[in-house]
Amino acid sequence: MADAAWKRVAAEAEVREGEPVVVEVGTDKILLVRIKGTIHAVNHECPHYQEKLEKGVLFGTEIVCKSHFARIDVTTGRVLSPPAYNDLPVYPVKIENGEVWLGASENPKFPKPPANLGSDPRLFVIVGAGAAGNAAAEFLRRGGFAGRIVMLTPEPDRPYDRPNLSKDFITGKAGEDWLPLHGSKFYPAQGIELMTGRRVVSLDPKKKTVGIEGGESLSFDKLLIATGGVPRRLPVPGADGAGCHLLRSAADAKAIVASAAAAKSAVVIGAGFIGLEMAGSLREKGLDVTIVAPEPVPLAHVFGDRIGAYMKSLLEGKGVTLLLGRTPKEIGGPAGAKTVTLSDGTTVKAGFVVIGLGILPAVDWLSGTGLVEDGAVPVDEQMRTRAADVFAAGDLAAVPDTEWGRRRVEHWIVAQRQGARAAAVMLGRDPGVPEVDVFWTKFAGASLKSVGSTRGHDQVVYRGSVEEGKFLAGFYRRGKLTGAATLAMPQDLVAIERLLRLGVPPRPEQIQDAGFDLVKAARAV
Ligand SMILES: Cc1cc2nc3c(=O)[nH]c(=O)nc-3n(C[C@H](O)[C@H](O)[C@H](O)COP(=O)(O)OP(=O)(O)OC[C@H]3O[C@@H](n4cnc5c(N)ncnc54)[C@H](O)[C@@H]3O)c2cc1C
Ligand code: FES
């Protein structure tokens, strides 16, 4: 490298052990981190949604982004754990006369596929190209798999950012070009055979084949089942009519955007995360929005009444009307002039209706395989199903749970991490300690995040104030911390995720005591 390429960026003494510092080189902002005496330099923007990594939490060589908990190795720039996809640029560092100098950035966005691609004769098939399927394909290649990877989806699109469909895509802040997780050249360059427009309709686990709609079939050496879920339908007259929308796919979201462009008002049925996000986004777009749902307080079954009531007040503050404690009985009228009749006889008029009642696992195509139980696919901690060489991950996978026997989680990062975990096991590697569930939702200007499981709690303790919108809540069941949630105290939540993962959760009084340094406790483990 030419000497001119080197830039002096800081005095060496300014970069203290374990305390990231941001420096500027031209328009780039770069994070300097000293670990065991050596200074490393990486770009400071998280490759997921460009959060500033200096606000994250450093554990050894690993920085955890405060927004959605991607884990990145600051010495190599490599993504260790989703939701980030691409690696970070790293910069060569030299120290001269007590000054830190940086060279030009290195590191491709994604590791090159193995040079011996094709030398492994095996074919790994991934059914589903969503969070779990895409992560599995990526981590198979990151893990050096040199065989064929075929990933199938009935959708026309390459893998895209599903969580955004109810957020910035609806408001218009993120356009269609923003949705794909990778550029169009990514999959061919990685040797990942993405087959769009292909619905898998059957599986023979003994013969190790999958059947594709239209008659084609594929033999596999290993298979990942990652078909996610289908939206629950509303069982009332008129719910399938024109101007009534479900939301799971990009096509669904585009149809809602088209309806919103021609309407002044909307009814959202369901006050789960998707309903609340959709209501917040449509309101932000300027529509009059009414939410209809049976529960008296949204999210109370997950986070308790206090947090639920606060989140509800945020939506009300933005002008969303919540008609709670009632259910829809009938939906009438043409698209553009819908009438929703409720259980208490009230009617609500709106241009269109969005129904958000959660999902059912997409397991129809697995009937007769013996792999489905209680409507889901049970797996062990290694994401193995009951059939040899067949794995499952994502919304349809029921994983072992010490408290409940099994649990199924419907979260983006969980699905990605399960996909990555399945990939490690498919490669014959130890996938390590299972991840703690991580979730975020964003509406009415607030980003609520949680780790672990908050359901079924019998005690909640707080740090900060829920009503002031800045808190950390610890959820306990029979004296044991099972999960935590936060608004505006993400570093503490990052610490709790680690403490839960390593099996040393904080006690209630430690969460309540704002003077107890959770990050320090997590670093000490
Ligand atoms: C609008 C919206 C917003 C969300 N927001 C959040 C959020 O903020 N935070 C969060 O944690 N989670 C969120 N989620 C949930 C999250 O997106 C899911 O948990 C996650 O996508 C599950 O991943 P998956 O891989 O199991 O399924 P999916 O991502 O749904 O992928 C399933 C894939 O399988 C394909 N498929 C289905 N049937 C077949 C078949 N027969 N043959 C072949 N392919 C098939 C589908 O086309 C798709 O490609 C949101 C979901 C939605 C719909
Ligand atoms: S912005 Fe960093 S994980 Fe999402």
| CA geometry: angle 440, 446, 452, nearest 5 deg | 25
For 107, other C-beta atoms within 10 Å of its C-beta total 17
Percentage of the chain lying above the pLDDT 70 cut = 99
CATH number of the domain at 167, please.
3.50.50.60
- Region 16-45: mean pLDDT is 95
Residue that is last in its domain, among 68, 102, 136:
102
Question: Strand, coil or helix: what is 45?
Answer: strand
Asked if residues 218 and 312 have their Cβ atoms less than 8 Å apart, the reply is no
CATH number of the domain at 30, please.
2.102.10.10
Q: How far apart are the first and last CA of the chain?
A: 41
Considering the domain architecture, whether residues 222 and 366 belong to the same structural domain is answered as: yes
Residue that is last in its domain, among 296, 326, 357:
357
Lowest mean pLDDT among 108-117, 174-183, 208-217, 487-496: 108-117
- Region 79-84: mean pLDDT is 96
> How far apart, in whole angstroms, are the C-alpha atoms of residue 193 and residue 204?
21
Considering the domain architecture, whether residues 267 and 196 belong to the same structural domain is answered as: no
Which ligand sits nearest to residue 71's alpha carbon?
2
Q: Is 215 exposed, middle or buried (0-12, 13-18, 19+ CB in 10 A)?
A: exposed
CA–centroid distance, residue 384 to ligand 1 (Å): 20
Does ligand 2 lie within 6 Å of residue 65's CB atom?
A: yes
Beta bridge partners of 217: 211
Asked if residues 310 and 466 have their Cβ atoms less than 8 Å apart, the reply is yes
Residue 110 lies in a domain: no
Residue 108 lies in a domain: no
CA–centroid distance, residue 406 to ligand 1 (Å): 20
pLDDT value of residue 385: 98
Note the Cα 390 to chain centre separation in Å. Answer: 23
- Region 266-282: mean pLDDT is 98
> 315 falls in which pLDDT band (50, 70, 90)?
very high
Ligand 2 atom with the smallest distance to the CA of 65 is 2
Domain count, the chain: 4
Ligand 1 atom with the smallest distance to the CA of 165 is 1
Pairing of strands 244-246, 352-355: parallel
Token pair 């939410």: residue? 291
Residue 208 lies in a domain: yes
> How far apart, in whole angstroms, are the C-alpha atoms of residue 390 and residue 371?
9
Residue 431 lies in a domain: no
Considering the domain architecture, whether residues 316 and 420 belong to the same structural domain is answered as: no
**Phi, psi of 402, rounded to the nearest 5 degrees:** -65, -35
Asked if residues 474 and 454 have their Cβ atoms less than 8 Å apart, the reply is no
> 1 falls in which pLDDT band (50, 70, 90)?
very low
pLDDT value of residue 58: 97
Residue 435 lies in a domain: no
Considering the domain architecture, whether residues 127 and 190 belong to the same structural domain is answered as: yes
Considering the domain architecture, whether residues 381 and 289 belong to the same structural domain is answered as: no
Does ligand 1 lie within 6 Å of residue 342's CB atom?
A: no
Considering the domain architecture, whether residues 261 and 318 belong to the same structural domain is answered as: yes
> Which residue's alpha carbon is at the smallest distance from atom 3 of ligand 2?
68
pLDDT value of residue 403: 87
pLDDT value of residue 468: 98
Residue 219 lies in a domain: yes
- Domain with 11 in it: 7-102
Q: Is 190 exposed, middle or buried (0-12, 13-18, 19+ CB in 10 A)?
A: buried
Considering the domain architecture, whether residues 368 and 344 belong to the same structural domain is answered as: no
pLDDT digits (tens, 9 = 90+) for 465-493: 999 999 999 999 999 999 999 999 999 99
Does ligand 2 lie within 6 Å of residue 46's CB atom?
A: yes
pLDDT digits (tens, 9 = 90+) for 155-207: 999 999 999 999 999 999 999 999 999 999 999 999 999 999 999 999 999 99
The pTM of this model reads 0.97
Considering the domain architecture, whether residues 162 and 215 belong to the same structural domain is answered as: yes
Considering the domain architecture, whether residues 17 and 68 belong to the same structural domain is answered as: yes
pLDDT value of residue 4: 66
CATH number of the domain at 482, please.
3.30.390.30
Does ligand 1 lie within 6 Å of residue 162's CB atom?
A: yes
Residue 114 lies in a domain: no
pLDDT digits (tens, 9 = 90+) for 322-346: 999 999 999 999 999 999 999 999 9
Residue 2 lies in a domain: no
> How far apart, in whole angstroms, are the C-alpha atoms of residue 210 and residue 506?
46
CA–centroid distance, residue 470 to ligand 2 (Å): 20
Question: Strand, coil or helix: what is 457?
Answer: coil
Asked if residues 333 and 339 have their Cβ atoms less than 8 Å apart, the reply is yes
Percentage of the chain lying above the pLDDT 90 cut = 96
Token pair 């893990």: residue? 143
* Token reading at 508: 């209630």
One-letter-per-residue 3-state SS of 331-392: EECCCCCEEEEECCCCEEEECEEEECCCEEECCHHHCCCCCCECCEEECCCCCECCCCCEEE
Considering the domain architecture, whether residues 127 and 223 belong to the same structural domain is answered as: yes
Query: What is the largest distance, in Å, between two alpha-carbon atoms of the chain?
Result: 80
299: CB partners within 8 A, 6+ apart: 271, 272, 273, 276, 307, 308, 311
Considering the domain architecture, whether residues 513 and 467 belong to the same structural domain is answered as: yes
Considering the domain architecture, whether residues 388 and 350 belong to the same structural domain is answered as: no
The number of residues making up the chain comes to 525
> 2 falls in which pLDDT band (50, 70, 90)?
very low
Mean pLDDT taken over the chain: 97
Residue that is last in its domain, among 357, 384, 405:
357
DSSP 108: -
Which ligand sits nearest to residue 80's alpha carbon?
2
- Region 303-331: mean pLDDT is 98
Helices (H), 124-185: 131-142, 168-171
Residue 260 has pLDDT above 50, yes or no: yes
Residue 118 has pLDDT above 90, yes or no: yes
pLDDT digits (tens, 9 = 90+) for 395-452: 999 999 988 899 999 999 999 999 999 999 999 999 999 999 999 999 999 999 999 9
> How far apart, in whole angstroms, are the C-alpha atoms of residue 358 and residue 355?
9
- Region 282-297: mean pLDDT is 98
> 3 falls in which pLDDT band (50, 70, 90)?
low
Asked if residues 328 and 236 have their Cβ atoms less than 8 Å apart, the reply is yes
pLDDT value of residue 108: 81
